[in-house]
Amino acid sequence: MPKVKRIAVMTSGGDCQAMNSVVRAVVLAARKYNIETVGIMDGFYGMTYRRPGDFRVLRAEDVENIISRGGTILNSARFDEFRQESVIKTAAKNMKEEGIEALVVAGGDGSFRGGLDLLKYSNIPIIGIPSTIDNDITSTEYTLGFDTALRNTIEMADALRDTCNSHKRCNVIEVMGRNCGQIALMTAIAVGASGVAIPEAPEAFDVDRTIDRMIEARKRGKRSFLVVFAEGAVNTRLTDDEKKATLDAAAESYLADRISGRDLAMIADENYISAFGEQFRTRLQRRSREEFSKYYAETGDIHFKDEYIETKFARFAHVARGGSPTVYDRVTASRMGELAVDLIAAKRGNRCICVHDGRITSMDMWDAINVDSVYRRYRKTGVHDSEAIAKLSPLQKKLYDYRVKLNESLIRSAAALSEI
Ligand code: F6P
């Protein structure tokens, strides 16, 4: 079997902090086999348009001093057009013309699918390295960037806690996670949150029950609260029709001069305008004001005169995705990059690097993508697709169950350890 001589590495989709560690490891590990590494700029976009410099040979000197840097020296891009046959064919042609014999892709599930599409027209095997701060790829227990994203998030949340406590406030924190609540759940547990809302389990966060318990906790003397929302969490408390009816009634009251413009704006905010976390902030402030005013009238306790739970909102967003990677991310990314090259040299292509039972290993790429789609369907609908599950291999089934149980147990722990 002829030896592999030239491979490519690229970073694709939303970036994460350990992508540079992957690129570095691929280049350095390839030296063991005398393989030349080409870096492709801007992911599938650069592969398709092949502007001058988009395919560049990377030597050891080119990857010096990058292990500690967030972002990616190869840049990253989301490129939706990579679903079109003509686009994929162009990219495949470019890869062949550049003499690329295998491709390492650091990215998420979308990037792995792109790699398999490329395979259809190029016969160039791919190795996927799971890289997303969301930790939401079913085939692996860990995706690169998650640990660093949590470090960033927790540092910011702890800082907010300090000032919240000084001022007797609540801070609502929105963290990344469009479809997955892993960052939110871990953050909630790590910072002693009073509640957490995630996209996959809307029923696990009850707005009014949480507010009631916070009010009771304040009566007992609790000064500060943190409540964590994943960006993809939605308020399922009311249907769209109910929200519309509330808003119509409020608009009518405003026009009849029964409520102020400020009240109308708050009702609109709670029901429509803002993200779930911001809606929660508005509702918490309004309801706690009402409750404490009643409480003061009943008890005459001066501590509760003009009392309410003053609440600030902070969106951490992409800050979580930058910064220098943690030791865990650097080492895991480096070992994953090295394994990718070992697999290519051994002619074992089309595999996904994974962490299983805490060990870095690999599995068949199609199996990885398949179990991911079955789990994503469950996450979206809340229903286990028993027909699809029956077709999973024992490894896939184990990974599927791991995900389901992990989320369930994190939700339980966050509730049990809630600081209210
Ligand atoms: O990296 C994953 C993720 O952080 C999601 O949680 C988030 O919704 C998304 O990326 C946003 O990324 P971008 O704004 O770069 O498209």
Phi then psi dihedrals of residue 234, to 5 deg: -125, 155
In 3D, which of 229, 236, 243 has the Cα closest to residue 202? 236
Residue 216, helix vs strand vs coil:
helix
pTM, 2 dp = 0.92
Give me the tens of pLDDT residue by residue for the chain, a chain 420 residues long.
Answer: 789 999 999 999 999 999 999 999 999 999 999 999 999 999 999 999 999 999 999 999 999 999 999 999 999 998 999 999 999 999 999 999 999 999 999 999 999 999 999 999 999 999 999 999 999 999 999 999 999 999 999 999 999 999 999 999 999 999 999 999 999 999 999 999 999 999 999 889 999 999 999 999 999 999 999 999 999 998 877 778 878 888 899 999 999 999 999 889 888 877 777 789 999 999 999 999 999 999 999 999 999 999 999 999 999 999 999 999 999 999 999 999 999 999 999 999 999 999 999 999 999 999 999 999 999 999 888 899 999 999 999 999 999 999 999 999 999 999 999 999
Residues of the chain with CATH 3.40.50.450: 6-145+325-383
Secondary-structure breakdown of the chain: helix, strand, coil percentages, each rounded to the nearest 5? 55, 15, 30
- Does the CB atom of residue 144 touch ligand 1 within 6 A? no
In 3D, which of 378, 382, 380, 356 has the Cα closest to residue 368? 356
Q: Which residue has the CA at smallest separation from atom 12 of ligand 1? A: 14
Q: Identify which of 178, 182, 376 to mutate to test ligand 1's pocket (most ligand atoms within 8 A of the CB).
A: 178
CA distance 187 to 81: 35
> 245-277: string of b/e by CB count within 10 Å (b at 16+)?
ebbeebeeebeeeebeeeebebbbbbbeebbbb
CATH no. for 6-145+325-383: 3.40.50.450
Residues of the chain with CATH 3.40.50.460: 150-321+410-416
CA distance 174 to 106: 26
Q: Which residue has the CA at smallest separation from atom 13 of ligand 1? A: 14
CATH number for domain 150-321+410-416, candidates 3.10.580.10, 2.40.50.140, 3.40.50.460, 3.10.20.30: 3.40.50.460
